[in-house]
Amino acid sequence: MHAPLDNENKKALRDGFGEGMMVLGETNQKVVALCADLTGSDRLTKFQAQWPHRFVEVGVAEQNLAGIGAGMARVGKIPFTASFAVFHPGRSWDQIRVSGCYSKNNLKIYGGHAGITVGEDGATHQALEDVGIMRVLPNMTVICPADATQMKKATIAAATHPGPVYLRGGREKQPQTTLEDADFVIGKAEKLRHGKHVTIIAFGVMVREALLAAAALEKRKISALVLNMHTIKPLDVNAIIDAAHETGAIVTAEEHQVNCGLGSAVAEVLAEHIPTPQVRVGVKDTFGESGTAASLMDKYGLRAVDIVAAVEHVLERKRKNKLPSITPATKNARKPMKKKRKKTKKTVKRARKPAKKKPSRKAKKSKKREKSSRNARKKAAKKRARKAVKIRKTKKHVKRKKARKPAKRNVRKKR
């Protein structure tokens, strides 16, 4: 289901993007690449050398980058606009919104060096909000692949996917996580591991951490289902509902703010469809800082141990949820209602039971009378209620009509 966790095949997400672009260069003549002075960093140097007439250097101008891309899309090209995620989409959100999404232009945005793993450059260069600002845009597709292997597939898939697409890249090299021959379908979550007790949903570099966490949990006899949610929009709602149903506890893990990214997206699904205990692992409403990628992942709680802690937390809540003593708040509120119902039900049952045992004619007749008289009382009560409503309605109508008439007359006179 996933690559062995101790493999040494290390690559960065951006390498996958570069490889994907080389494949597209060969196979799709409509594909063009645009870059804002970061050709090497975004791994487009080979593409530029091979197809110079299909490569556009825009200079340090990310708003123009998005606009030029949209214009090229308008005349039939499939432009991939590349920069760092903090600048594009960070600085060009309005251009992506209007020139890209509103017009449904075929704009493919590559936001490189995303997340806290950018490291030493510090908080200004660590995009931790990009998924949030992209997933709120109508017509947008948001893809955050788990590793270079998947990024290559995602890049190729984005070219034929209609409309604007956001691809989230990264700088840090990491071991291969997904399998070479695994299918990649936009909008379809990848189940990397089966489990019964808890589900870990992750994207990007956190998928590997999720798998490491799952392996650690296995030793403690906790089986964790791991979902690689590479597409944040459109979100694979069914996969989340199924996972919540199967395991009853969810942990989300992302190298992104928990407030607007995957954690939020999953919480929205759970709240609307299948309320389930959830704990979010990610950057908690704070900026990053300078440091090596590894040290920052440790400090900002983006490691397998943090996921394990979150799993413990969520399993605790799952256990408590099952105990009846924890949930009486709602029960207490409804108690008087239930008591009344129970009484009526009991009386009916008492009347029925002897009737079933001895189906004599007299008993039947008396039961019928009892029923009919009860029904009659109910009907009368309903009628009274209806009448009251009617009277109220008619009164309102009269009031409204009175209020409207003079206004209409005025309009007619004016004309």
Per the DSSP assignment, residues forming a β-bridge with 114 are 127
> Which residue, 106, 24, 34, is CA-closest to 70?
106
The most distant pair of C-alpha atoms in the chain lies apart, rounded to whole Å, by 101
Q: Does the annotation count 19 as an active-site position?
A: no
- Decide if residue 98 touches another protein (CB under 8 A): yes
179 and 2 in contact (C-beta within 8 Å)?
yes
Q: Is there binding between residue 77 and another protein (CB under 8 A)?
A: yes
161 versus 188: smaller Cβ distance to another protein: 161
Quick one: which of 45, 46, 48, 71 contacts another protein (CB under 8 A)? 71
Give the count of beta carbons closer than 10 Å to the beta carbon of residue 294.
Answer: 12
Residue number, 77 or 171, with CB nearest to another protein: 77
Residues 251-280 that bind another protein (CB under 8 A): none
Q: Which stretch binds another protein (CB under 8 A): 64-72, 225-233, 304-312, 314-322?
A: 64-72
Which ranges constitute the DSSP H helices of 261-360? 262-273, 293-299, 304-322, 328-357
CA distance 162 to 239: 23
CB neighbour list of residue 152: distance below 8 Å, 6 or more residues apart: 16, 17, 19, 20, 23
76 binds another protein (CB under 8 A): yes
Considering only 10, 104, 369, 383, the residue that binds another protein (CB under 8 A) is 104
- Total chain residues near another protein (CB under 8 A): 29
Find the binder of another protein among 32, 142, 239, 249 (CB under 8 A): 32
CB of 61 to another protein, least distance (A): 4
Q: Which of 8, 19, 57, 62 is catalytic?
A: 62
- Other Cβ atoms less than 10 A from the Cβ of 375: the count is 10
Would you say 73 or 114 has its CB closer to another protein?
A: 73
Cβ proximity of 119 and 290 under 8 Å: yes
- List 39, 95, 150, 155, residue binding another protein (CB under 8 A): 95
Instruction: Report the residue number, 94 or 218, with the smaller CB distance to another protein.
Output: 94
Q: Which of 53, 219, 349, 353 binds another protein (CB under 8 A)?
A: 53
Residues 380, 386: Cα–Cα separation, whole Å: 10
Q: Is 68 in the site for another protein (CB under 8 A)?
A: yes
Per rule CB under 8 A, is residue 67 in the interface with another protein? Answer: yes
**Comparing C-alpha atoms, which of 89, 111, 112, 126 is closest to residue 286?**
126
Contact 223, 217 (CB under 8 A): yes
- Token digits of residue 354: 């002897």
- Give the nearer residue to another protein in terms of CB position, either 71 or 291: 71
Contact region for another protein (CB under 8 A) — 62-70, 149-157, 243-251, 365-373? 62-70
Q: 56 vs 131, which CB is nearer to another protein?
A: 56
Interaction of residue 69 with another protein, rule CB under 8 A: yes
Task: For 90-237, list the strands marked E by DSSP.
Answer: 108-112, 141-143, 165-168, 174-175, 190-193, 198-202, 224-228, 231-233
322: contact with another protein by CB under 8 A: no
Q: Is 413 in the site for another protein (CB under 8 A)?
A: no
In the block, which residue shows the tokens 């899309």? Answer: 73
| Closest distance of CB 97 from another protein, Å | 8
Structure tokens at 180: 């070479």
> CA 55, CA 40: separation in Å to the nearest integer?
13
The answer to the question of residue 58 lying near another protein (CB under 8 A) is: yes
Of the candidate spans 20-28, 49-57, 120-128, 225-233, the one that interacts with another protein by CB under 8 A turns out to be 49-57
Spatial separation of the C-alpha atoms in residues 264 and 261, rounded to whole Å: 5
Assign 220 to helix, strand or coil.
coil
Cite the active site residues. 62
Give the interface with another protein as residue ranges (CB under 8 A). 32, 53-54, 56, 58-59, 61, 63-64, 66-77, 79, 94-95, 98-99, 102-104
